[in-house]
Amino acid sequence: MMDWNSWGGDVLSAEAKAARTPPPPKRVEATRELVVERHDGFVGAVVRVEAGLVHLEDRRGAVRAFPIGRGFFVEGVEVELVPAVAKQAAATRTASGSRAVEGLRARVALPSRILVEGVHDAELVEQVWGHDLRVEGVVVEPLHGADDLAAVVAEFRPTRERRLGILLDHLVTGSKESRISRTVSTGKYAAHVRIVGHPFIDIWQAVKPARLGIQAWPDVPKGEDWKRGTLRRLGMPHETREDVGRAWQRIRSRVRDWNDLEPALLGRVEELIDFVTAPSP
């Protein structure tokens, strides 16, 4: 005869049924740019919520509407989407995570500068660290490529009161950028120049792929234009400069704050801000 006690009592009781019932999914506010996955595999970012529907935009720009509620996943975990509640309190933290300065008036620009490789790099740094830069009076300028970095540094003529912080893409052993960096870092102005870099081929890769609804950035063979190759593999328009520009604006629009960037970039930018704003010895 079966010993019912070995089953912990009556398996049909309300207590036993409750124990077998999984807890309801976590309720998550459908805030703009939140990336979610549907149970049918559709992945998109929230663009708006209205009339009981949540509208999601996928990486190709297609927008579909779904009833708000259950049936969604965030980073593989099932959630129940609910309308976002308007926030009344003013933010006390900036996009970079620092404390916001109320009533900020931008300082007169310091003579020191931060240089980054291109326009996209400058836009991303401004988007996340713009408040901090204005508090400190730091200007960020694009180099439009690192090939002429030594000449740019020589023209700037850095001093201890007029320092240069430089952020390079793909600063890894054996890369072109590492050779250029070594030349400048051992040159005449080395004491007043700080060169740091991240390992990514392009600043785009510093944006966490999950923010775009993808698991990883595509692999593009060496010798192929990385931006256009990436867009082609993502199924996005990629033939013209306008295609690339529009794609970057969509990528950048997914970045809400420092949490959406890879740590390999965050520390480098903070290091440069500290370097160019440190008091002169």
Residue ranges covered by each domain of the chain: 4-82, 113-207+255-277
Calpha distance 193→276 (Å, rounded)? 9
Q: Which fold has domain 113-207+255-277?
A: Rossmann fold (3.40.50)
Calpha distance 171→25 (Å, rounded)? 43
* CA 133 to each of CA 96, 122, 166, 261, 274: distance values in angstroms, whole numbers, following the listed order: 10, 12, 15, 18, 11
Q: In what order do the strands lie in the sheet with 139-142?
A: 139-142, 113-116, 164-168, 193-197
93 phi-psi bin (left φ>0, alpha ψ -120 to 50, beta other):
beta
Looking at residue 99, the DSSP 8-state letter turns out to be: B
- Collapsing DSSP to helix, strand or coil, 34 comes out as coil
pLDDT at 265: 94
Provide the token pair at 3.
């010993």
Calpha distance 199→214 (Å, rounded)? 20
> Tens digit of pLDDT per residue, the chain (281 long)?
434 344 344 444 445 455 556 678 899 999 888 888 888 888 888 988 888 889 988 877 788 889 999 889 988 889 999 998 865 545 577 777 777 766 555 556 789 999 999 999 999 999 999 988 988 889 999 998 888 999 999 999 999 999 999 999 988 888 888 898 999 988 899 999 999 999 999 999 999 999 988 999 999 999 999 999 999 999 999 999 999 999 999 999 999 899 999 999 999 999 999 999 988 76
109 contact partners, CB below 8 Å, separation of at least 6: 137, 138, 139
**DSSP β-ladder status, 77-82 and 26-29:** parallel
The identity of residue 12, as a single letter, is: L
pTM strictly above 0.75: no
For the chain, the C-alpha Rg in angstroms (whole number) is 25
Buried-exposed string 70-91: b where 16+ CB fall within 10 A, e elsewhere: ebbebeeeebebeeeeeeeeee
Q: What count of other Cβ atoms lies within 10 Å of the Cβ of residue 184?
A: 20
